[in-house]
Amino acid sequence: MRINTLLSAILHGAFLMEGAAMQTFNALAVQVLTGQLQASSFGEEEKKEPVAACYALTPHAAGLGIVGYGALSEVPAGSVAIHTIAGVMLPEDSWFTGMGTRTIGQRIQAADAHENIIGHVGVWRTPGGSTSGLESFASIIAGTQKPFVSYAEQMCSAGYWAGSSANGGIVVGGRTAMIGSIGTKIEFLDFSGFYEKLGIKQIGANATASTNKNAAFDQLIAGNAKPIQQELLDPLNEVFLSTVRANRDGKLAAKQEKELLSGMVYIGQANVDNGLGDVLGTLDDAVNLVAQLAEQAGDASASSAQSATISNSNTVSLFAKKNSVTLGAAMFALVAQATVTAAAAAAANEELVAAGITGAALITEAQEQAYEATAQELTTAQAALQTANQELTTAQAALKVHTDALAAAGVADVAALVKQRDEFEAKAKEYGAMDGDTSTTAVRKNGTSDVETPDADASQKLIDELPHNQALDNNPLFAARQ
């Protein structure tokens, strides 16, 4: 017998789902009760195509798209595992809803442990689903040792609980992507009127000690929601909200946090602006982001979640404040990385320019250190140049003194000065070798004398010209004495 697992879960389990989807499935329940839809069938099972053991996309062969493989060993090395969470999330596989979260979780763990897989992309197309197995599924995603990026086309309620656990962040899947519905609500159908029309009367009784058995539900049917809020909704909701706060620590827009956690759904870019998502992009962007995170982590197959990916407490810190600028996967990949390659920084700078951010650029730590070293070398060179200029000024002053000395000596250069010195030394040596009795006479040149003859004293000349002195000069007595 084949049982409609979805309808069974709707009628018996607790769900965290976006409202529109819940209304659709309530309608399905009505169809079962009115005989329009069978909840089970004794007919033969429908034959379906076998489901691939793993779906993956290989970045260096992206043109092939997502390919299904029979075993992980068949997947090309360096591939990114693709996990699709579509429709209502149920823990078990169902012919109606497809693969359950338990099976998807097992596939995530198997891919995470295989050497051919470098990381994961979770493709979310879900309004939410059952709380059964939800926390376990979210823990599997949060615990991957390789990068896990959530690509959200629709990621609401229980889907956001699990999807926000991705250690590589959230890529919002375009301008129509729906994210949110973070909150808890109970909703069920009261079939009492329907049963009355069929002549069915519901009768029940509690054990003596079971005074609160289903009391909260009975109160809700009677119009009093307070008991079920205190007993069920508020505790479950607090676990939900605390999980989201932990997964998006520091990323939710502070002024909007109360609203974000009140159950609203947001579309496209608004999810980037308010911090529910990290960057607007495509599935290819999500795959490339995983590849970049894995490359930066080094040996992705052996590294831990802390070194290979972005931790939940620091997820995409670069995008905490988005304003109206949407950055791409290259910039997103730099978040929380201990080291950044020059190529990664260059790719991020290209995205900055494309986003209209000019006048600023990212540089790596190595480039910064190189610039600082160059600046220090320039400072040293400038100091050396200043010292050289000072020395040149001193040398120029000394040269002037030297030139002035040559001019005073009547020579043009040092060689002539040396020659003049040697001639004086030779002359001095010659005179020094003469005895003391040797006399010298003045040397006349061109009718002049090298020996100066002082002019006669003017007063003595006047005395000599006096008549009596002239008479004495002619006196024979004085002439004889001469």
Dump pLDDT digits (tens) for 88-126.
888 888 766 678 999 999 999 999 999 999 999 999 999
* Percent helix / strand / coil, the chain, rounded to 5: 50, 15, 40
pLDDT of residue 311: 38
Assigned domain for 102 exists: yes
| Distance of alpha carbon 315 from alpha carbon 321, whole angstroms | 13
* pLDDT beyond 90 at 145: yes
Q: What is the mean pLDDT of residues 36-48?
A: 53
Report the share of the chain in percent with pLDDT over 90: 30
Q: Tell me if residue 128 falls in helix, strand or coil.
A: strand
Which structure tokens are listed for 151?
A: 């690509």
Contacts 24+ apart (CB under 8 A), 303-307: 303/145, 304/145, 305/143, 305/144, 305/145, 305/146, 305/167
Q: What is the mean pLDDT of residues 157-176?
A: 94
Assigned domain for 461 exists: no
| Distance of alpha carbon 458 from alpha carbon 461, whole angstroms | 5
- The C-alpha angle with vertex 334 and arms to 329 and 338, in degrees rounded to 5, equals 155
pLDDT of residue 437: 64
pLDDT in tens, 276-317: 999 999 999 999 999 999 988 764 344 444 433 443 333 333
Domain that includes residue 51, residue range: 2-191+235-354
Q: Which tops the pLDDT comparison, 23 or 326? A: 23
Residue type for 91, please? P
**Backbone dihedral angles phi then psi of residue 363, each to the nearest 5 degrees:** -130, 155
Q: Are 282 and 138 in contact (CB under 8 A)?
A: no
pLDDT of residue 456: 54
Assigned domain for 172 exists: yes
Q: What is the mean pLDDT of residues 231-235?
A: 89
Among 48-57, 138-147, 171-180, which stretch is predicted with the lowest mean pLDDT? 48-57
pLDDT in tens, 370-390: 888 888 888 899 899 999 888
- How many domains does the structure of the chain reveal? 1
Assigned domain for 128 exists: yes
Assigned domain for 203 exists: no
Q: What is the mean pLDDT of residues 28-32?
A: 64
Q: Tell me if residue 476 falls in helix, strand or coil.
A: helix
The enclosing domain of 312 has a CATH number of 3.90.226.10
pLDDT of residue 366: 81
| Distance of alpha carbon 235 from alpha carbon 336, whole angstroms | 33
Assigned domain for 271 exists: yes
Max distance between CA atoms of the chain, in angstroms, equals 197
Q: Are 109 and 146 in contact (CB under 8 A)?
A: no
| Distance of alpha carbon 272 from alpha carbon 324, whole angstroms | 9
Assigned domain for 376 exists: no
Among 75-89, 329-343, 425-439, which stretch is predicted with the lowest mean pLDDT? 329-343
